Amino acid sequence: MGVLIDKFDVFAGGFWLTLQICVLAAIGALILGAIVAVLRISPVPPLRAVGTGYVNVFRNMPLTVVMFFAAFGLPALGSNADFLRIPVIDSLFTRLGTDLPYFRFALIALVLYTAAFVCEALRSGVNAVPAGQAEAARSLGLTFGQNLRYVVLPQSWKASIVPLGSVIIAMIKNSALAGFFGVVGDLSATADQLTGAEGYAFIPVAIGISIGYLIMTVPLGALLDRIEKRQAVAR
């Protein structure tokens, strides 16, 4: 068990890096997912086709393949993902500004992949609003924007919060893949490093790494269960 204490800073560092990936990827995925959701429910057929195509492609592809695409495709497109070196943010999330692009590539892959699921969560929320609600709003003379703001979105938000949460939990778990794609020092890379190259005993390291992930996923899952139960009662 000594490794847990001796290498506590390594575990803590790995946890912090994984948390950074998760926070950044969650923000990115929510934004991109919202954009794709807007495309998917827009009245213009080509935009809808783009949204649908995006979701079908990324939802049915393993994240591993997306990661490989980010690692090989982006350099071929002539980009080192330098646009992610955002001045103020990269002083907090230091890995965004490093010369090695793997952190940014992993982040992009995670965002692209998760956005498809975020889009579906948002869209299923909008579709869960009974059609009569929007019809009633229209017949009252509300404009499209008012309709969205006062009638549809408040209701769809309730229906999509739980699916969104489970998407985020899945994303936290998927972020473990980054460690196997050249992102040095996150929790999964730490597991590999400590049990492989540094030859520590397996069980203590496994416990430490597991705790790191469970701290992030279990409370979030419990919170979601609570919200779900409360909603079930309210309904």
Partner 1 sequence: MSQQTSVLYDVPGPRQRRITLISSLVAGVVLLIGAYFLIYKPLDDKGQFSMELWGPLVDPSNENFSLVWERIGLGFKNTLIAAALAIVASLVVGTLLAVLRIQLKSLARRRFTGMATPLAYLLRGLSLLLSAVTRVCVEVFRGLPVVITIFFVARGFPEFGISFDTLWYLVIGLTIYNSVVIAEILRSGMEGLPGGQAEAAAAIGLSPLQTTRMILLPQAFRIMLPALISQLVVVLKDTSLGFIISYEETLNIGKQIIGVLDNPIQVYVVIAALFIAVNYSLSKLAQYVQRRLSRGRKTANLPAQQAPATALISQAEGGGGAGGGGN
Q: Which is nearer to partner 1, 90 or 124 (CB)?
A: 124
Minimum distance from residue 40 beta carbon to partner 1 (Å): 9
Contacting residues for 175 by C-beta, under 8 A, at least 6 apart: 18, 21, 22, 25, 106, 110, 186
Q: Which is nearer to partner 1, 31 or 57 (CB)?
A: 57
Residue carrying the six token digits 């009633």? 136
Q: Which is nearer to partner 1, 50 or 90 (CB)?
A: 50
Minimum distance from residue 148 beta carbon to partner 1 (Å): 7
Minimum distance from residue 156 beta carbon to partner 1 (Å): 9
Minimum distance from residue 58 beta carbon to partner 1 (Å): 9
C-alpha gyration radius of the chain? 21
Q: Which is nearer to partner 1, 81 or 224 (CB)?
A: 224
Q: Which is nearer to partner 1, 20 or 147 (CB)?
A: 147
Minimum distance from residue 88 beta carbon to partner 1 (Å): 27
Minimum distance from residue 91 beta carbon to partner 1 (Å): 29
In which element (H, E) is residue 234 found?
helix 202-234
- Residue 44 falls in which region: left (phi positive, over 0), alpha (psi -120 to 50) or beta: beta
Rounded CA-CA distance 107/70 in Å is 9
Rounded CA-CA distance 49/195 in Å is 47
Q: Which is nearer to partner 1, 90 or 158 (CB)?
A: 158
Tokens of 220: 């979030």
Minimum distance from residue 55 beta carbon to partner 1 (Å): 10
Residue 180, class by beta-carbon neighbours within 10 Å (0-12 exposed, 13-18 middle, 19+ buried)?
Answer: middle
Tokens of 89: 């943010």
Burial 120-145 (b: 16+ CB within 10 A, else e): bbbbebbeebeeeebeebeeeebeee
